[in-house]
Amino acid sequence: MIVDPPVLLCARRDGNMNSLRRGFANLHTLIDNHAHHQHHHAAHAAHAAAEHGEQNNNLENHGGARGAPTGAKAAQQLLHVECRVVVATATRVKIHISTVDAYDVRKHCSTQIVKRSEDGELRASLSCSVNCKLQHHSRMEVRVYGEDDLRSRSTKSCLGFTSFSIRDLLRSKEPHCSLKLRTMDGVSEVGEVKVSRLQVEEETEDKSPGNKSSVLCDALHGSVQDKENSPMMRAALCSQVCKLYRFQTEDHRWLVVREQMSETPLSFSLPKQLLSALIQEHTDRVVEVKELGDLSPHWDGLRQDVIAHCNQLTGCYQQTRAELDKLSTSSCFKASSSKSDRHLQFIPTNLHSQRMEVAGPDRSGVWYEVITFGAPADHHQAFKHGGLKRLLSKHADHRNSSVRYSREESCRAKELLASVAQLQPLVFGLAEELLSISVEVNLNRLQEVLDSLKEQTSLFIHAIKDQLVKIALLDMHDQSTSNDGSSHVHSNGLLCEVSPGDQEGALSPRLQEDAEYSEEEWDRTWANVGKSLDCITAMVDRLQRRERLLREQPSPELQEATGDSKSQNMASPSSSSSVSSWQEQLLPLVVTLRDCVREAVTKARAAMTFVVLQGAVAATVGQGPTQIVQRRHAVFSQGLSAIVCGFMLKLFGGLEDPEFLHQLHSVGILAQFEGLLSTYGEEVGMLEDMEVGVADLSSLAFAITEAESEQPDDLLPTITGTWGSFVVEVPLPSDTFRSLPQELQAGRLIRVEPILFNIGINQHQSLAERFGDSSLQERVNQQSCERLKAYCNKLRDKLPNMAGIQSLLDLLSSLDRSMESKKRKNVGVLWIAASACRKVNGVRLTSCKSAKDRTAMSVTLEQCTILREQHALGQQHFSAALDNMRRDGCRTENVQKNIGTRKFAFSSVQLLTFPKLYRPPDGSYG
C-alpha cells in the first residue's frame, strides 16, 4: 500500500567541511538551551546503557542491533521542517537545523539563500534524515540567519530561532507540530515553524526489506550530498525543492522516490549572452555594409534599409539588456504572471527542471528528468495577428524574391574584396616598374620585376576565378532583368526606379544589351588577364634574346642604321632607337594587362558587393519587419535556456556511459518538446511561435570545453557565433573533461535534433476538434514523427548494437498507428514520443501556456508511469501515487511561487473535458 504521510520538501544541503567550523562557532549559543544537571544525567544514562548493551533510546543505530521492546527495529526518521519568516530587516535569509544533546551539536542541513516572496514573507522547507545517535531527551534547533551576516554566525546575525524535543515529537499522536519562531531574546515573534516526521520503514528483524530500508535512505541522501552539491550541478540548478515518497512495488517491497524541482541560473544568463551576441552581430553588419563604399542609388537604398533595420534592433536589445542587468544577479525565475513584461521578453516563463530519483532494494538511485517551462512564445506582442508561423508566411508572400547567400558566402565575398583591393595596386605598380626598367635595358632587373609581376598576377587570377563570382554575376543579371522598371521605397524615403544599368558595375554595357548573359563571359574576363600577361612575358623573352645576340655579335646592318656618334659613348651596345623600340613594344601590352585587370576588378567587386549586400539584406530586412525578427529572437531565447539546461543534466548523468558519449559526437542529441496547447484562440498563436522556435533550435550545436577552474562562473555555458550558427560551449572540470572521448575533447560539435509533439487537452481543444481546426497540430506532429524516425535510423546506422534498438523500432511503429487513428485528444502520441525520447537518451521538455497546471498533470503522470513500467510500482497503487504527487508534490510548490496559492487553476467543469489521467485529485484545484 502507499503510505500517505506528509510529503517532504527539502532544499539543497551543505556538503563540505565548513559545517564543522560553523558548528563550533555556533556552540556557545546552542548550549544555553540545556541545564548543567541534564548534561550529568544524560552522561550517566549513556554509560549505563553502553555497559548493558542497551540502546533503546536511540532513534538510529548504525551497524548495531536495535533494542526496541517490541523486537522490531527502530525505524529511521525523516524530519520535515517548513519555516515561514516575517522579518522587515532582511530580504534574504538562510535556515539551519541542528541537534543539541549532552555531548554534541550536529548540524543536519541548511537551505540555500531564500528570497523574499511577493507577499513580503520568506518561506523555506527542508528535510533531514536523523542518522546520528540521537537520544530521546535531545533537542533540535532551527535558526534563521540574515544573508549579510552568514559568515559571522554571531548571535547578532540570528534573526530567529526555536527548538523542540525529540521525545515530544515522537510521543505526539499527531505527525507534526507547530512552533513559533522568535528572536533570540524571546520577546518578538518573527514567524512560525512546522515540523513533521516520516517513518521511512518499520518492519521486524525477520523481514529482509526492513533491513534494507536504512540503506535506501542513506543512498538517497548520499546522492544529495555528493552529486547534487557538485560544482557542475550548481552551475545548472539552483533553489531546489524536494519531496520524498515511499511507494510499494508489486512484490511488496518499497521504493523510495525523491522528487526534485529546481530553478536554473540559465534562465537569465543565456538570454543575456544571446542579447549581447545579437547586438554585436548587428553592429558588425552595419560596419560591413558601410565599408562597401559608394554605391548606385538602388544599392545604396538597400544599404540604408539594412542599417536602419540593424540600428532599430540594436537599440531595442541594448535597452532590454540594460533592464535585465538591473535585476538581482541571483534572479533565476520568471513567474507566469510576468510573461507579458516587455523587458522579460527573452526570459523563459517558469523554467524548472523536474527530476525524480528512484531507489529500490535491488538498485541504487536512478534519475529521470523533464524540463518544464511555459511554451516559448512572445506574450508581450501577443497573438492578435497569429504567431510566428503565420506572420512569416504572410511576409514571404509579400516580399520581393531576392537572392540569398549564406553567412559563409558573405565572408568569402569580403575576403575576395580585400584580396582584390590589395592585389590590384601591386599588379599595376609592377607593370609600371617593368616599363621603367625597359628604359635601362637591365636584363637581370627586368627579369626580377617580370617574375614578381607574374607571381602577383597569378595570385590575382586565383582570387577572382572563384566560382562565387560567376554565380553572383549570373544572379545580378537575373535580378536586374526581373526588376527592370520596378520601384522600391527605401527606409530613408528614397523612391528608386530600378533599371538594369542601375546596379553599379554590374555588367559591361555590351553584356547589359544582351538578352542572355553567358556564364562563359566571366571565364573569358579573368582568362584575358592571364593571356595579356603571357604576351608581356613572351615579348620580354624576345627582347632579351635579341639583346644577348647584339652583345655577342653586333650586326653591321644595325650599326649602319643607327648612324649616330653617341652610340660610341653608351655602356650598352644597344642604340637609342632600340631602347625606344623596347618601350614601344612593351607599352601596349602593359596597357592591355591593366585594362584586363581593371575590367576583372570592376566585375568581381560588383559581384562581391552584391553578395555582401544581398547577404546582409537576407539576414535583416529579408527576415521581415523588426517586430517579427525580435519576436523570433525572443522565442528562440526562451527555448535556448530550456534545451541547454536539459542537455547539461543529460550530459552530467551520462559522463560514465561510453555509448552515450559516442552517440553525442556521432549522431547528436534528440530534444523532444511536448506541447499541451490547444488549437483554439490565442493558444494557436503560441503553438505557431513554438513551432518556429523549436525549428530554429536545429541550427544550434554544443561543444564541450575544459573549464579554467571549478568556480561556478567558470562552469556556466557560453554562447558563440551568430544567428543561425550559434554554438553553446559547456565547460567541464579538467579531470572530467580529460576522461571524455578524443572527438569531444577536440571540440567536435554536438548537433541538436529538436522535435515537437503537441496534443491539446483542455476544454478549448474540445471546441477546436468539434467546431474548429486542428490541422496545425496534425501537421506539426506528422513532421516531428518523420524527423524522429530519421534520427532513429541514423542512430541505428551509427550504433547498431545499442541496447533497446529493437524496442525502439516497435515504439516507432506504435507511434505511426497512434497518429493514424485520428483519435480526439490522443495523448497516447505524447506518451509514445516521450518513451522513444528516453530510449535514445534524449532531452525531454514539457510545456503548456505557463507550465504550472497542465504541465503539472503531465509530468506527474510521466513520473508515475515510469515507476510502474521501470520500477514495478503496484498497479493498484498507481492512482494513489499519482494523487499524492499532485496533492503534495513539487508542482504544488510551483503553483505557489507563480500565483500565491497551492491549488491548480482548474474548475470542475473544465476537468470534465480533460483526459482522465490528467485530472488532479479533489481538493487540489479551484
Give the residue numbers marked as catalytic. Answer: 848
The total of other beta-carbon atoms located within 10 Å of residue 897's CB is 20
Q: Residue 646 is placed in which grid cell?
A: 536539459
d(CA 596, CA 614): 27
Q: Residue 232 is placed in which grid cell?
A: 557542475
Whether the CB-CB separation of 292 and 612 falls below 8 Å is answered with yes
Residue 697 carries which DSSP code? G
d(CA 655, CA 841): 12
Radius of gyration of the chain (CA): 38
d(CA 371, CA 369): 7
Sheet containing 363-372, strands listed edge to edge, beginning at the edge strand earlier in sequence:
238-248, 254-263, 352-360, 363-372, 843-847, 669-675, 750-758, 701-706, 727-732, 718-720
866 to each of 281, 367, 837, how far by Cα in Å?
44, 11, 13
Grid-cell match 527555448, residue found: 639
d(CA 725, CA 719): 10
Whether the CB-CB separation of 142 and 97 falls below 8 Å is answered with yes
- Residue 648: partners with Cβ closer than 8 Å, 6 or more residues away: 232, 235, 236, 266, 717, 730
**Burial per residue of 200-214, b for 16 or more beta-carbon CB atoms within 10 angstroms, e otherwise:** bbebeeeeebbebbb
d(CA 694, CA 672): 9
249 to each of 254, 336, 393, how far by Cα in Å?
6, 37, 53
Helix-strand-coil percent breakdown of the chain, rounded to 5?
A: 55, 15, 30
Q: Tell me the pairing of strands 669-675 and 843-847.
A: parallel
Nearest to 240, CA basis, from 856, 903, 894:
894
Q: How many residues does the chain have?
A: 926
Q: Residue 85, by phi and psi: left (phi above 0), alpha (psi -120 to 50) or beta?
A: beta
Where does residue 550 rank: exposed (0-12), middle (13-18), buried (19+ CB within 10 A)? middle
d(CA 706, CA 649): 17
**Burial per residue of 568-607, b for 16 or more beta-carbon CB atoms within 10 angstroms, e otherwise:** eeeeebbbeebbeebeeebeebbebbbebbeebbbbbbbb
Instruction: Determine the residue type at 775.
Output: S
Grid-cell match 614601344, residue found: 584
818 to each of 149, 468, 862, how far by Cα in Å?
59, 48, 18
The total of other beta-carbon atoms located within 10 Å of residue 217's CB is 22
Q: Residue 612 is placed in which grid cell?
A: 555582401
Task: Give the chain's largest Cα–Cα span.
Answer: 141
d(CA 50, CA 58): 12
Note the Cα 523 to chain centre separation in Å. Answer: 46
Q: Residue 413 is placed in which grid cell?
A: 565575398
